[in-house]
Amino acid sequence: MARFFLPSRQIHANRGTIAGQELGHLRKVLRLKPGDRITVFDDTGWEHEAVICSLAAAQGEIEILSSRQAQRESPLQITLAAGLTKGEKFEFVVEKATELGVQTIVPFTSTYAVPKLDERKIASRTERWRKIALSAAKQCGRTVVPEVLPLCTFQELLIRPSHEGVKLFFWEQEAAQSLDDVYKKHRDAKAVTLAIGPEGGFSSAEAELARAQGFDSVQLGRRILRAETAAVTALSLAQFLWGDLG
């Protein structure tokens, strides 16, 4: 069955109201009708089997038939901080990060980030990334849609409040420490922040700033990975070591 996101504030007893983007997807893309069954998930971890009761231009009404608390979220709290990349590459990172169970995505600009965006483009792209995260969460069966924060600078990223846990930045010039080395020192970590640089990587000055703010530098092997490859690889390894992969 098709899956839709329905905030808990739009659910009352066994009735729900679908509107906005999700209504458009239901009516115009999937062409569902009253009587069709769907799955909806809310923002509290619950998933509901429902039947469409009525559809109008402004909203649709559903009846919830059964509810369950799905257990598909990772026990590891992951924040992915990713340097801004060209074109569709960042969209790819948002989609795959969602599939891999990340809770928060923080796009940032830095010394070697190529795209230079004005406020209008930043707002437009942020909205686009949030739609991609929602779509990916629906597709992969998650019950939590990752939060995509507004674009910030690398310096702002380093000082933002975060979950207690391991903070890592992946740097191609790190020769000594691997992710496995960090894992051996922090086997019981419940939260990780992973900072992945843009296409040009991090500068030495940025590496020093990160270390000063409690980040450990790690390397991902001897080969230099593209930014989007590094993001997916780092997330997969973190979920394997501390989360629910493998």
Domain borders along the chain are: 3-69, 77-241
Fold equal for 3-69 and 77-241: no
Local confidence band at 113 (pLDDT 50, 70, 90 cut-offs): confident
Tokens of 35: 């009587």
The predicted structure's pLDDT at residue 117: 75
CA distance 243 to 75: 6
Q: How confident is the model at residue 29 (pLDDT cuts 50, 70, 90)?
A: very high
**CB 32, CB 8: distance < 8 Å:** no
- So what CATH class is 3-69? mainly beta
Tokens matching residue 242:
């501390």
Q: How does residue 1 score in pLDDT terms, banded at 50, 70 and 90?
A: confident
Task: For residues 121-145, give the mean pLDDT.
Answer: 93
Confidence at residue 221, expressed as pLDDT on a 0 to 100 scale: 84
For residue 182, is pLDDT > 70? Answer: yes
Average pLDDT of the chain to the nearest whole number: 92
Q: Residue 112: pLDDT above 90?
A: no
**CATH fold of 77-241:** Alpha/beta knot (3.40.1280)
The tens digit of pLDDT for each residue in 183-203 reads: 999 999 999 999 999 988 899
Residue 223 has pLDDT above 90, yes or no: no
Number of other residues whose CB lies within 10 A of the CB of residue 185? 10
Give pLDDT, residue 114: 72
| pLDDT for residue 190 | 94
Q: So what's the pLDDT on residue 240?
A: 96
219 DSSP β-pair partners: 178
pLDDT band at 228 (very low <50, low <70, confident <90, very high): very high
The C-alpha angle 170, 175, 178, rounded to 5 degrees, equals: 55
pLDDT value, residue 163: 66
pTM, to two decimals: 0.90
Cβ contacts of 156 within 8 Å, gap of 6 or more? 108
Confidence band for 210, pLDDT divided at 50, 70 and 90: very high
